[in-house]
Chains A and B, each alone.
Chain A
Amino acid sequence: MSVKYIPVQWNKNKWWYDGFMLAGVVGFLWVFLYVTPEILSHERPINPQIHNARAFGACAFFMMTIILCIGPLARLDKRFLPLLYNRRHFGVMTAAVALTHFSYVLNWYFAFSGTNKYEALLFSNTSYGQLVGFPFEAFGIFALLCLLILAATSHDFWLKFLTAPVWKRIHYLIYFAYAAVVAHVSLGVLQDQQNHLFTVVFVASAFTVAGLHLLAFLHERKAGDPDAVPDTDGWVQVCHAKDIPEARAKIAVLPSGDRVAVFRLEDKLSAVSNACAHQNGPLGEGKVIRCLITCPWHGFQYDIRSGRSPAPFTEKIPTYNLAVRDGVVLVNPKANPPGTYVEPVEV
Chain B
Amino acid sequence: MTTAETLLWLARIWLIVGGVTAAAFLTIGIDRIDEDAQGTYAFRPLLLPGILLLWPLVLWRWYVLETGRDDPDARFKPVRTAHGAMAVTLCIVILGTVLFALSSRQNWPAEFEPVQLSAPDQTPSGEVSE
Instruction: Answer whether A273 and B37 are a contact pair too, CB < 8 Å, given A161-B61, A182-B97.
Output: no
B122 is an interface residue with CB less than 8 A from chain A: no
Give which listed residue, A118, A157, A211, A277, contacts B75 with CB less than 8 A.
A277
CA distance A132 to B72 in the complex (A): 50
Q: How far is the CB of B95 from chain A (nearest CB, A)?
A: 7
Please report the total number of B residues contacting A with Cβ < 8 Å: 55
Q: Is the CB of A4 within 8 A of B77?
A: no
Q: Is the CB of A277 within 8 A of B76?
A: yes
Q: How far is the CB of B69 from chain A (nearest CB, A)?
A: 13
Per-residue interface assignment for chain A, residues 173 to 191, with 1 indicating a CB less than 8 Å from any chain B CB and 0 otherwise:
0010011001100110011
Q: How far is the CB of A63 from chain B (nearest CB, A)?
A: 17
B115 is an interface residue with CB less than 8 A from chain A: no
Per-residue interface assignment for chain B, residues 49 to 77, with 1 indicating a CB less than 8 Å from any chain A CB and 0 otherwise:
11011100110010001000000111111
With both beta carbons as reference points, the residue of chain B lying nearest to A183 in the complex is identified as B97
Q: Is the CB of A153 within 8 A of B50?
A: yes
CA distance A211 to B93 in the complex (A): 12
Q: Is the CB of B76 within 8 A of A280?
A: yes
Residues of A within 8 A of B5 (CB): 119
Q: Is the interface of B mostly helix, strand, loop or mixed?
A: helix
- Looking at the complex, which of A213-221, A231-239, A263-271, A323-331 is the stretch in contact with chain B? A213-221
B128 is an interface residue with CB less than 8 A from chain A: no
- Looking at the complex, which of A20-28, A29-37, A38-46, A162-170 is the stretch in contact with chain B? A162-170
A311 is an interface residue with CB less than 8 A from chain B: no
Residues of A within 8 A of B82 (CB): 169, 172
Give which listed residue, B36, B97, B105, contacts A3 with CB less than 8 A.
B36
A116 is an interface residue with CB less than 8 A from chain B: yes
Q: How far is the CB of B89 from chain A (nearest CB, A)?
A: 8
- Looking at the complex, which of A80-88, A202-210, A242-250 is the stretch in contact with chain B? A202-210
Q: How far is the CB of A294 from chain B (nearest CB, A)?
A: 17
Q: Is the CB of A191 within 8 A of B101?
A: yes
Give which listed residue, B8, B37, B39, B77, contacts A119 with CB less than 8 A.
B8
Q: Is the CB of B86 within 8 A of A175?
A: yes
New A-B contacts (8) at CB < 8 Å, excluding given A4-B37, A161-B33: A122-B4, A131-B101, A148-B49, A172-B86, A182-B93, A206-B94, A335-B73, A335-B76
Identify the A interface with B (CB < 8 A): 2-8, 72, 116, 118-120, 122-123, 131-132, 145, 148-149, 151-153, 155, 157-158, 160-166, 168-170, 172, 175, 178-179, 182-183, 186-187, 190-191, 199, 203, 206-207, 209-211, 213-214, 216-217, 220-221, 257-259, 273, 275, 277, 280, 314, 317-318, 335, 337-338
25 intermolecular pairs with C-beta atoms under 8 Å apart: A4-B37, A5-B37, A118-B8, A123-B3, A132-B104, A149-B54, A153-B50, A157-B37, A162-B61, A163-B74, A163-B75, A165-B74, A166-B61, A169-B82, A172-B86, A186-B100, A199-B102, A210-B90, A214-B91, A217-B87, A220-B84, A259-B78, A273-B76, A277-B76, A338-B72
